[in-house]
Structure 1
Amino acid sequence: MKLIRFGAFGKEKPGVHIDGVNYDVSAFIPNYNEVFFEADGLTTLSKLIELNKTALPVVPEGTRLGSPVARPSKIVCIGLNYARHAKETNAPIRSEERR
């Protein structure tokens, strides 16, 4: 299960991507935001999907997908290939990145 948000910009609804299909879960979850994650929303969502999977509306193909999380409090990026990328672009490699 992957979290998605779909719909017009600024009016996205929560959904899930399961086995190649996008489903609308907005009847159960208002949004993927801080409240959702602080309240163990993933566990609740998994249970709701298990109980209601055959009744979940399918999001039509071609529907716009937005950011999967509304207003994230943090964005963490990990540059696993930083040194290799720097070498490829002839950029200097910081000493803490050399390995």
Structure 2
Amino acid sequence: MPEMIFRVRWPDGQESDCYSPSLVIKDHFTPGEDYPVRTFLEQADTALTQASERVRARYGFACSRALGQLQAIRQTCTPFLNQPDAQVRILSFSL
């Protein structure tokens, strides 16, 4: 199962690499696009949950790293949820 790293820029300008155990992330995000924080969070939740379930279907257990990444994304997004203009930019995908 191919893993993917997607690099994001948070509303405060910081950048980080996020992990997905599946290419499903490409179905939810586009490099170079900005997403309102709440939209980004919802799509990340859907994508990383799907990715974890793909791991479960193949190996018999959920992907704890994907679920951990989702938790980290939730924590990072929380301070920006009440800022209506806050955006998260998808910078790149890498395998």
- TM-score, with structure 2 as normaliser: 0.28
- TM-score, with structure 1 as normaliser: 0.28
Structure number, greater radius of gyration = 1
Structure with greater proportional strand content: 2
The higher relative CO (CA closer than 8 Å, separation ≥ 6) is in: 2
